[in-house]
Amino acid sequence: MKYINEKELIEKLKQGDDTAFKFIVEEYKNLVFNTAIGIVQNEEDAEDVAQEAFVQVYQSIHNFKGESKLSTWLYRITVTKALDQERRKKRKKRSAILKRLFNSEEEIEVETPDFHHPGVILDQKEQASELFKAIKKLPENQKVAFILNKLEGLSYQEISEVMNSSLSSVESLLHRAKNNLRKNLNDYYQKNL
């Protein structure tokens, strides 16, 4: 089912139309998943984030005022959910370290850092892996701006709308992110030249 325009689609969603919700999920699932996996860098976590994002869309569509595009709102929700997931994992990891320090008998969950981003060509996987490790080290705002720009292809203006920040702030975040990535990747490229 196709909708004439976004306004009609949003109105159907607000009326609780299940077909409209299925359309939203189908139309935006790649956008949500790709954004999530760029941030959380784990397929299972990205799937959880995507599910949480769509649940929030369903539950809070009545709060959507239409001041931005639906895709901007979805990016905003996805980024928030993905960052929340990252914070939960960090807390869990710190808790595991404390348990280990105090010789707890509980099994400690080991995180596997390897994942495959849908936009990465297979023969560039090793380089992409190093890049994603470096991205993971970036401060949250730099990471989000970089992922939205370089992986999702959003313009600076679109990123400023998603992040609720000024255009100059986005430019600054991206500049700092690129400088930090350059520093973080310098060792890798020095070894592999």
User: 10-29, pLDDT tens digit by residue?
Assistant: 999 999 999 999 999 999 99
Question: Fold identical between 1-115 and 119-193?
Answer: no
User: In this predicted structure, what is the pLDDT of residue 22?
Assistant: 94
Q: Is the pLDDT of residue 115 over 60?
A: no
The matching CATH number, chosen from 3.40.50.970, 1.10.1740.10, 2.70.240.10, 1.10.10.10, for 1-115 is 1.10.1740.10
User: 137-178, pLDDT tens digit by residue?
Assistant: 999 999 999 999 998 999 999 999 999 999 999 999 999 999
Cα–Cα dist 103/176, whole Å: 41
Exposed e or buried b per residue across 168-190, where buried means at least 16 C-beta atoms within 10 angstroms of its C-beta: ebbeebbebbeebbeebbeebee
DSSP string, 24-52: HHHHHHHHHHHHHHHHH--HHHHHHHHHH
Cα–Cα dist 180/168, whole Å: 18
Cα–Cα dist 68/179, whole Å: 31
What is residue 82's three-state secondary structure?
Answer: helix
Query: Which pTM does this prediction carry?
Result: 0.78
User: In this predicted structure, what is the pLDDT of residue 114?
Assistant: 52
Q: What's the CA dihedral at 50, 32, 37, 139 to 10 degrees?
A: -110
Please state which CATH number belongs to domain 119-193: 1.10.10.10
User: 37-73, pLDDT tens digit by residue?
Assistant: 999 999 999 999 999 999 999 999 999 988 899 999 9
CA-based torsion, 84, 57, 45, 119: positive or negative: negative
- The pair of structure tokens assigned to 96 is 């595991």
Q: Is the pLDDT of residue 95 over 90?
A: no
Q: Is the pLDDT of residue 30 over 80?
A: yes
Domain limits, the chain: 1-115, 119-193
Cα–Cα dist 16/20, whole Å: 8
